[in-house]
Amino acid sequence: MSYPEVLEFLFAQLPMFHRVGAAAYKPSLKNTEALCQWLDYPERKIKTIHVGGTNGKGSTSHLIASALQCAGYKVGLYTSPHLIDFRERIKINGQWITESAVIDFVESYKDSHCIEIQPSFFELTFAMAMQYFAQEKVDVAIVEVGMGGRLDSTNVITPLLSVITNVSKDHMQFLGNTIEAIATEKAGIIKEHVPVVLGIMKENAKSVFESIAKQRNSHFISCTPDEPVPDCALKGEYQQENSRTAFKALENLKSSFPKLTPEKISEGFLQVQELTGFRGRWEIIQKTNPTIIADVGHNEDGVQWVIQQVKKEKFLRLHIVLGMVNDKDVDHILGLFPKHARYYFCKANIPRGLDAEILREKSAVHHLIGDVYPSVQEAFMAAKKEADHQDLILVTGSFFTVAEILN
């Protein structure tokens, strides 16, 4: 098989939650356990750090990976979704998994008995990552939860440390309708006698984690908002919370990684984008004439953070290229967007994307005014044509909207 043929198989033959939504969700670890057994349990052969939470998982995972890289360790990093190429989900020291490794894995899978269990895209991708990291003998792998925690495919690992960034309302059709219910699902990654670091979060969520950590004899470490942290290359004030969570996690990993000095942590935070290839979070695509920024914020807290950051920018007019997915609480999220902006409504090229005309109609209820465009690229081009040199263009609403302008 060629690499394009492998991608066609992965995307077309396997249900992929990020593209199709609920149809791809499998609330069980059985498939993942079967895949790991087929591969002789690669996840047991490597050290891991498990990162969950509603927002900030990706930023926190990349910051931890970058610091460990700077300290001289060989670091695997498994995250989702990808923005440009499938291979960016699986990295070692910032380098994507090779095309040949992806091809070899998929060909082996197709020839195995595991094809009969029909795993999801995420289940198979996670197994691929664990095998690759084990084969390449990484010193440690940072593993980002896909969704939730308790029944997420990644929850077959027993890490050195669990990290939970925060909790807000997202994926409620799967995780529950209250903060407490969602927190309970995310607390599923807390393991017996494995310490857990908690980011700054609401007290009702924090109390859930404290209770479950106590039940599982897990040492509980909580971040506080006044703790100093190293400067970070990631832009946006909301990244300060992610930096604080990552820093607290790294402080509690020093006994396992003795080369992890404060100087290396600081160096890693400042070089996170160069070392890990992290993109899409308050990413400044163009500094002036006009300023263009992309951010993947897509749920209540994520959008709030983005809009708070917008308010700190200097610009004449605000243009927002907006595309969302159809399984979010769109009506509530739209109420967070500024009314004074000009909107360019679009639909990302995925089945799960929300129809742009429906998005425009729902936005009008909140007095968000703009036009509908056939594609993300056409909406983006229209915004660039309309904007003056002192204006700000923001591209946001989902990973997939941002991905199409980064490609």
230 shares its domain with 349: no
73 shares its domain with 19: yes
200 shares its domain with 134: yes
> Among 35, 7, 221, 209, which residue's Cα sits nearest to residue 116?
35
261 shares its domain with 338: no
Tens of pLDDT, residue by residue over 100-124, are: 999 999 999 999 999 898 888 999 9
Q: Give the end of a domain, one of 276, 293, 311.
A: 276
Interstrand relation of 90-92 and 95-96 (parallel, antiparallel or unpaired): antiparallel
Tens of pLDDT, residue by residue over 335-350, are: 999 999 999 999 999 8
At position 35, the amino acid (one-letter code) is: L
pLDDT of residue 267: 98
Q: Give the end of a domain, one of 276, 292, 309.
A: 276
232 shares its domain with 311: no
Q: Among 19-23, 40-44, 90-94, 366-370, whose mean pLDDT is lowest?
A: 19-23
Say which DSSP state 177 is in: S
191 shares its domain with 118: yes
51 shares its domain with 163: yes
The CA R_g of the chain, rounded to the nearest whole Å, is 21
Q: How many CB atoms lie within 10 A of CB 286?
A: 11
Which stretch of DSSP H or E encloses residue 371?
strand 370-372
Q: Give the end of a domain, one of 276, 292, 321.
A: 276
Q: How confident is the model at residue 16 (pLDDT cuts 50, 70, 90)?
A: low
145 shares its domain with 287: no
The whole domain housing 316 covers 283-406
CA–CA distance, 117 with 35 (Å, rounded to integer): 9
> In the chain, how many domains are there?
2
Predicted confidence (pLDDT) at residue 354 exceeds the cutoff of 90: yes
Q: How confident is the model at residue 28 (pLDDT cuts 50, 70, 90)?
A: confident
We report the CATH number of the domain holding residue 290 as: 3.90.190.20
73 shares its domain with 206: yes
We report the CATH number of the domain holding residue 137 as: 3.40.1190.10
249 shares its domain with 333: no
> Do the beta carbons of residue 293 and residue 283 sit within 8 Å?
yes
Query: For a pLDDT cut of 90, what percent of the chain falls above it?
Result: 81
Q: How confident is the model at residue 172 (pLDDT cuts 50, 70, 90)?
A: low
Q: How confident is the model at residue 265 (pLDDT cuts 50, 70, 90)?
A: very high
CA–CA distance, 37 with 114 (Å, rounded to integer): 10
268 shares its domain with 194: yes
To the nearest whole number, what is the mean pLDDT of the chain? 93
Q: Which residue has the higher pLDDT, 24 or 313?
A: 313
Helix axis angle for 262-270 and 57-70, nearest 10°, is 130
